[in-house]
Amino acid sequence: MNSKFIVIEGLEGAGKTNATAQVVNILRQQGIHDVVFTREPGGTPLAEALRQLIKEGVDDEPVTDRAELLMLYAARVQLVEGIIKPALARGAWVIGDRHDLSSQAYQGGGRGIDVRLLQTLRAAFLGNFRPDLTLYLDIPQDMGLVRARARGKLDRIEIESLAFFDRTRARYQALAAEDERIVTIDATQPLSVVNSAIRTCLTQWLRIQEFSP
């Protein structure tokens, strides 16, 4: 089987860390051991510096929505060109904690940035590059934020309004419904049930990939 790019998406506290571990277990059981992990924003020294700027800002300077979007894209391009594409080219599998769908949902849905601008950026900077499979962990924002808050201090995006996260979730759900490469997992369930849903979905998908040309 050719190497694949699998992405885990969802609101804060949806359980992406747990899902990543579950995906890796399943891949190992299938004999796939060469796996590279990425997170967005981040994953290279420059992209990690941008992550810090995106999540914390600088002093009290307000960050405009478009500046936030461009920083996210700068980090993404750096990661895709420097890490993800080379890993896939040498035959490794890549597991991403977030990718472009986050921008479509948070910046498109949450911030309300025009979809045409997002499509233009994606076409210009990513071209046809897409994840082979995205597992979208669907959770209402109040439940996810309770989990995220338990970790401690909230960052610049996590302190956004409930309406922001409702719009973000609605965009995630709409995009997942129209793209067969995005599978929605109900992340409100207990961890054991979420893990079993991930196992069922990924095992079936791997079987299909095995027999695809």
HSE value, Cβ hemisphere, 13 Å, CA-based, for 48: 4
Binder of ligand T5A out of 6, 7, 23, 72 (CB under 6 A): 72
- Picking from 13, 14, 18, the residue whose alpha carbon sits closest to that of residue 138 is 14
- Picking from 87, 69, 100, 77, the residue whose alpha carbon sits closest to that of residue 181 is 100
- φ/ψ of residue 182, rounded to 5: -110, 125
Residue nearest to ligand T5A (CB): 15
For ligand T5A, the closer CB: 31 or 152 = 152
Residues 159-198 touching ligand T5A, rule: CB under 6 A, are: 187, 190-191, 194
Rounded to a whole number of angstroms, the minimum distance from the CB of residue 176 to ligand T5A is 16
Assess 130 for contact with ligand T5A (CB under 6 A).
no
- Residues in the interface with ligand T5A (CB under 6 A) total 25
Residue type, 82: G
- Picking from 7, 27, 15, 41, the residue whose alpha carbon sits closest to that of residue 130 is 7
Assess 40 for contact with ligand T5A (CB under 6 A).
yes
Assess 148 for contact with ligand T5A (CB under 6 A).
yes
Assess 98 for contact with ligand T5A (CB under 6 A).
yes
| Start-to-end CA span in the chain (Å) | 9
What residue ranges bind ligand T5A (CB under 6 A)?
Answer: 10, 12-18, 39-41, 72, 98, 102-103, 106-107, 147-148, 157-158, 187, 190-191, 194
